[in-house]
Every structure is written in C-alpha cells, then in structure tokens.
Amino acid sequence: MRKTYQILAGAIAGLVALQAAAIAYAIGGVFAWVDEGNTLDKSVVEGWEANPPTFEGSLGSFFHFFVFGTVLIPLLGLILLIISFFAKVPRGPMLAGIVVVTIVVQYLLGTFASSTGTPLLSLLHGLNAFFIFGAAVAAARAAKSVAESPPVAV
C-alpha cells in the first residue's frame, strides 16, 4: 500500500507538471494562430466546444481543462486519500488531505476565473498548482522514506 501511495502521489505531481506544459502549449499555439492573421474574439471563445479552432496546440487546452484538470488529477487525489488510511505512511492521511483540498481549490479557482472573467483568480489558479505539486511531492517522499528506513532492532 505504501508503494501505491507513493506512485499515486508522484503521478499527481507529474500530471500537474504536464498540465502546466499543456496550457503553455495551447497559449503558444493561440499566439501563433493570431500571428497568422486569425482573430481571437468572443465568438471564437463561445463557439470553442461546437467548432474548436484547429491551431497547433489546441489539444493542449483540452488536456489542461478536461483530461488532467477535471478527470485524472481529481480522481487520483481521491484514490490517494482513500489509500492513505491503509498505507501506514507517517502523516499520510494529512498529506493526502492537503493534496485533495488544494485540488478542490484549484478546480474552483479555474472554474470561477473563467465564469467570472476575473484574471486575479487565474493568477491564483497558477500559483495554487505549485501547492498541489509540492504537497504531492511531499506525500511521495513521505512514503519513500518509510520504505527505505531500515528495520528497527528490538
């Protein structure tokens, strides 16, 4: 169970890094698309789901928003929290709880940033990703240190 806990926590950290890379790829693609003479306006944004743009990097936004942010990271966070109660990792449930809370905060910041048009929430969304990453790495390291500690002689 400790190894599973460690792998899940590491996977969450890795997916947060991939999520950041995906949105950077998407934004780079949008800038190149605009440089080619296209216009990014309200009609493009509102029609994004029905008629997605075909610029290079457009899949980055799909992976950032849906695959990583809405499905994989929250699912792995929930599984990590459940496993934390059985893994016998020191501070395991607490660290897993911090991971889950920061994931929920991340989801809410992203949702409210796009629905309210508040750029400050987007800034906090980006900063909170570092908290998720750090908490997930701390959880993975806590499980690793238990696995590597030598047996205690009695």
Q: Which two tokens stand for residue 118?
A: 């508040």
- Residue 87 burial (10 A CB sphere; 0-12, 13-18, 19+): buried
Mean pLDDT over 119-148 rounds to 91
What was the pLDDT predicted at 130?
97
Higher pLDDT, 12 or 49: 12
pLDDT above 90 for 144 = no
**pLDDT tens by residue, 64-93:** 877 888 899 999 999 999 999 999 999 999
Average pLDDT over residues 23-35: 88
* Nearest Cα to Cα of residue 99 among 83, 120, 123, 121: 83
Task: Give this prediction's pTM.
Answer: 0.85
High-pLDDT (> 90) share of the chain, %: 54
pLDDT digits (tens, 9 = 90+) for 1-24: 999 999 999 999 999 999 999 999
Burial class from Cβ neighbours inside 10 Å (0-12, 13-18, 19+) for residue 20 reads middle
**Residues whose CB is less than 8 angstroms from the CB of residue 86 and which lie 6 or more positions away in sequence, other chains included:** 1
Does residue 135 surpass a pLDDT of 90? Answer: yes
Q: How far apart are CA 59 and CA 54, in angstroms?
A: 9
Query: Averaged over 36-52, what is the pLDDT?
Result: 80
Residue 107 has pLDDT above 60, yes or no: yes
Type of residue found at 3: K
Contacts of 5 (CB under 8 A, 6+ apart): 80, 83, 84, 87, 89, 92, 96, 139, 143
